Chain A
Amino acid sequence: MIWNTFKLSVCQLMNRPWEMALTFVLPIIFFSIFALIFGKGIQSNSKRRISFSAIDEVGDRFSQNLITALESQEEFELVDLSEYKNQKKHAVSLVQRGDIKACLVLSDSSSQDSGISNEPQSWSVKVLADTSDQLSVSYLESAIQQYMMHRYLHPPADSSLLPSNHEEVLTSSNDGNNSPSDPGVHQAEGGEVLLSPAMNKSAAGSRNQTSSIQNLENNLSDNGVNYDSNGFLDDEIQIEIVNVLADGKSNPVVSMYAAGIAVMFLLFNATSSSGVLIEERENQTLDRLLSSELTMDHLLLGKWFYMAFVGTLQVAVMFLWASQVFSVELMTHLDGFLMMTISTSLAVSGFGLFMATLCHSRSQLNGVSTVLVLTMSALGGSMVPRYLMSDSLQKIGLFTFNAWAIDGYDKIFWRELPVNALAPQLAVLTLSGVVFLSLARLLAVRWETR
């Protein structure tokens, strides 16, 4: 009997190709996506580039070389600000908009009160950054530190290539959140290349090479550079991470997670709700409905609006909960939130109806939509932040609702941009909703009079 039950189940599985596909193909798809994200996305040989700008207020050879060295690295892309009068203001604007990850401000501490160091004849590195992408910021910070270290360990013959306070060494004071001494610095042992592969990996926190660190510490000690008990270097050039976006926000990062989860569930709900259309066709309710004064246009539009309404309500309830429990600032961003939520709901509802009219049965819809929704969610940033992905994967992610919606919510809650900055997201989402609805209408022609 047990054997018969087993065989019965096998036969049932064989007769349900979509379930079989889900069982065997879905894990492969997801493994491949995550392998692409984590296997290539953050490795040293990835195509992921960190865009930054630099404002050199010091103007000596050392500061210029630092910028040139960073620019020469494949991982970094320097955005030129020379044409702007108020470079700092423009740079902050670019960071706020998400066009660049950070702006380095190399300033002479002796000529201005930075509030960081009162040492005369010193200069500081201020990183005006968007810390939502913590990886990029720490990567950039580590690269600067590595450059500093390299110069200390291998000083050029011409002392003008060192900063005026070259006997001071590095510290990090990025809001007190990050480790002040990045292990990547310790791994940057000699070498001609500014950011060695080992350094890149250390920046991502992926490896800990104790022996290399020990060698580096010995090397530093030989050169008169010493650590204190906390791992700080005795004398420091100061790198200050200034978060230009999170200041004054109560819990901005939670809103990003909420957006990611919300879009994924919107997609699941939309495809599930639209399955009612298939049921109506299968049990002849559709025949009865279309024999009344109801037309297919009425039916699809009614369902579209309903699904968008429920989706909007669903996300609103979720964000309301987030605002009450996790202090997400919903009320101050209500206009942008509503715009993004409604357009996202319209888009995914259109997609759900398209899937329902494309599929021939409810089980087929369930199978296909599960694969698509999970794939879109993985690529679009609902599961893993897109900034962790390589450039190519980030571009592929733009073919998903999740990416556009999350970018929109990011602009509202994290970057606090005005609602007109949401124009691309609103346009893409609303338009895709209309396009998918139109495709659903075309496919539904076969359900009308044949």
Chain B
Amino acid sequence: MIFVVLNPNQVITDVPAISVHNLRKRFGKNVALDGVHFVLRQGERLGLLGPNGAGKTTLVRCLARRIRADEGTIEVLGEPITHRGGSARLGIVPQELAIYEDLTAHQNLLFFGRFHGLKGRLLRERVEWALEWTGLADRAQQLIRGFSGGMKRRINLACGVMHSPKILLLDEPTVGVDPQSRERIYTMVDSLSEGGCSILLTTHHLEEAEGQCERLVIMDRGRVIADGTIDELIDQSVGPLRWVRLRLANPSGQKKHHQWDTDFSDLQAHTVSIAGDEQVVSARMDNVAKNLPRLLHQMREQGAIIKDVEVQSPSLHDVFLDLTGEQLRDV
């Protein structure tokens, strides 16, 4: 039985934080969303990926109630979204710095808190918390204009969570910041997750998505084309193939590529390159545990001097390109 309590201090069980069903949106002749389905579970961190023009922004704007879908439903904590009210459950952090640069950090937090209905002691407490959370308490009275990119990003994030939302829509939170700031921002996001906040992270940083999200949704051409954990996505796309790279000694210094005679019919993308005194053989191989020893044995029999063997698991990058193709998407 589903048990829902809408008191923010109590736990809501089983009900998805966000449930999107058959969402469709068209702008003129351009189909932005073509029947999108996905679920963000409570307390989950979900990465939303896709090439440019895939429909991510439209989807996020639909979730933020800024675009009305032509068809389909969106449920937030089990209730269909309305275009009036219900904003307290959602926090939005846009990709752009949606803050006032001619206000101080304190003033920005104060006003965005007020716009979310906070007042009095609670508002003051939340502002104090946000300044500590962002590590900017000592610069609270300084204008945002003079802040570094990373500091602005942190304030941008804080302004979106002043009202302690249950769900956070986080759009490219680390664009243009240095690794230290990125680390700091994700530490902040971690603390939100620990507090039970469900997070939908939209990003083009695949490594970030892979490292920060428990589950990933990949969109392309207005549809969800893959949904699952990184392992599930690998299984759905590249499967058990692994990149194998062999470094061979090339004592004769021959410039011509040697054609190795192997009986591996499933060896994909077999390439050989010469780098100085070495030959590098790269290939994608199914069932590495069984086939790699056989390959090494056969090559040794043909006189190859194997210096090093590298087996690489497929990354999200491989999955992404496998699913969406390598063609540029200039929208």
Write the residues of chain A forming the contact surface with B, with a CB cutoff of 8 angstroms.
282-285, 287-294, 449-450
Residue B160 lies at the interface, judged by CB distance under 8 Å to chain A? yes
Complex Cα distance A291/B116, Å?
9
Is the pair B83, A449 in contact by a Cβ cutoff of 8 Å?
yes
Residues of B within 8 A of A288 (CB): 92, 94, 98, 112, 159-160
Is the pair B68, A287 in contact by a Cβ cutoff of 8 Å?
no
Complex Cα distance A293/B115, Å?
6
A-B contact pairs, 11 of them (CB 8 A): A284-B95, A287-B92, A288-B98, A291-B92, A292-B115, A449-B66, A449-B67, A449-B68, A449-B83, A450-B67, A450-B68
Complex Cα distance A283/B95, Å?
9
Is the pair B99, A285 in contact by a Cβ cutoff of 8 Å?
yes
Is the pair A292, B116 in contact by a Cβ cutoff of 8 Å?
yes
Residues of B within 8 A of A290 (CB): 66
CB distance from A287 to the nearest CB of B (A): 5
Is the pair A291, B65 in contact by a Cβ cutoff of 8 Å?
yes
Complex Cα distance A346/B64, Å?
33
Is the pair B64, A294 in contact by a Cβ cutoff of 8 Å?
no
A284-B87 contact given A293-B115, A294-B115, A450-B68, CB 8 Å threshold: no
Complex Cα distance A294/B98, Å?
15
Complex Cα distance A449/B112, Å?
20
Q: Could you tell me the dominant secondary structure of chain A's interface residues?
A: loop
CB distance from A40 to the nearest CB of B (A): 47
Least CB separation from A285: chain B residue: B98
Residues of B within 8 A of A287 (CB): 61, 64, 66, 92, 94, 98
Is the pair A283, B96 in contact by a Cβ cutoff of 8 Å?
yes
Residue B49 lies at the interface, judged by CB distance under 8 Å to chain A? no
A287-B94, A290-B66, A450-B66 given; 12 more Cβ-contact pairs under 8 Å:
A283-B97, A284-B98, A285-B94, A287-B61, A287-B64, A287-B98, A291-B65, A291-B66, A291-B87, A291-B92, A293-B88, A450-B67
Q: Which of B90, B97, B100, B117 is the one whose CB lies under 8 Å from A291?
A: B90
Complex Cα distance A449/B64, Å?
10
Least CB separation from B66: chain A residue: A287
One digit per residue, 1 when the CB lies within 8 angstroms of any chain A CB and 0 when it does not, for chain B 74-93 equals: 00000000010001101010
Q: Which of A287, A292, A450 has the most CB of B within 10 A?
A: A292
Residues of A within 8 A of B159 (CB): 288
Complex Cα distance A449/B116, Å?
18
CB distance from B85 to the nearest CB of A (A): 8
Complex Cα distance A18/B94, Å?
30
Residues of B within 8 A of A282 (CB): 96
Residues of A within 8 A of B98 (CB): 283-285, 287-288
The size of the chain B interface, using a CB distance under 8 A, is 25
Least CB separation from B61: chain A residue: A287
CB distance from A27 to the nearest CB of B (A): 34
Within 8 A of A (CB), among B11-64: 61, 64
Residues of A within 8 A of B88 (CB): 293
Complex Cα distance A290/B67, Å?
12
Residues of B within 8 A of A450 (CB): 66-68
Residues of A within 8 A of B99 (CB): 285
List of 5 A-B pairs having minimum Cβ-Cβ separation, nearest first? A284-B94, A292-B115, A285-B98, A284-B96, A288-B98
Residues of A within 8 A of B163 (CB): 292
Q: Which of B61, B67, B112 is the one whose CB lies under 8 Å from A292?
A: B112
Complex Cα distance A282/B97, Å?
10
Least CB separation from B169: chain A residue: A291
CB distance from A354 to the nearest CB of B (A): 23
Least CB separation from B92: chain A residue: A291
CB distance from A170 to the nearest CB of B (A): 66
Residues of B within 8 A of A293 (CB): 87-88, 115-117
Least CB separation from A289: chain B residue: B115
Least CB separation from B62: chain A residue: A449
Complex Cα distance A283/B67, Å?
17
Least CB separation from B83: chain A residue: A449
Residues of B within 8 A of A285 (CB): 94, 96, 98-100
Complex Cα distance A450/B68, Å?
5
Is the pair B65, A449 in contact by a Cβ cutoff of 8 Å?
yes
Complex Cα distance A293/B163, Å?
11
Least CB separation from A293: chain B residue: B117
Complex Cα distance A285/B92, Å?
10
Least CB separation from B101: chain A residue: A283
Complex Cα distance A290/B83, Å?
10
CB distance from B93 to the nearest CB of A (A): 8
CB distance from A278 to the nearest CB of B (A): 14
Complex Cα distance A257/B66, Å?
47
Residues of B within 8 A of A292 (CB): 87, 112, 115-117, 163
Least CB separation from B95: chain A residue: A284
Complex Cα distance A284/B65, Å?
14
CB distance from A436 to the nearest CB of B (A): 25
CB distance from A291 to the nearest CB of B (A): 5
Complex Cα distance A449/B87, Å?
14
Complex Cα distance A42/B94, Å?
59
Q: Which of B66, B67, B68 has the most CB of A within 10 A?
A: B66
CB distance from B69 to the nearest CB of A (A): 10
Least CB separation from A294: chain B residue: B115
Residues of A within 8 A of B64 (CB): 287, 291
Residues of A within 8 A of B66 (CB): 287, 290-291, 449-450
Least CB separation from A288: chain B residue: B98
Least CB separation from A299: chain B residue: B115
Complex Cα distance A287/B61, Å?
9
CB distance from A292 to the nearest CB of B (A): 4
Residues of B within 8 A of A289 (CB): 115
Complex Cα distance A332/B65, Å?
54
CB distance from B82 to the nearest CB of A (A): 10
Complex Cα distance A282/B163, Å?
24
Complex Cα distance A99/B88, Å?
60
Q: Which of A283, A288, A290, A293 has the most CB of B within 10 A?
A: A288
Complex Cα distance A437/B115, Å?
22
Complex Cα distance A155/B66, Å?
86
One digit per residue, 1 when the CB lies within 8 angstroms of any chain A CB and 0 when it does not, for chain B 103-120 equals: 000000000100111000
One digit per residue, 1 when the CB lies within 8 angstroms of any chain A CB and 0 when it does not, for chain B 281-301 equals: 000000000000000000000
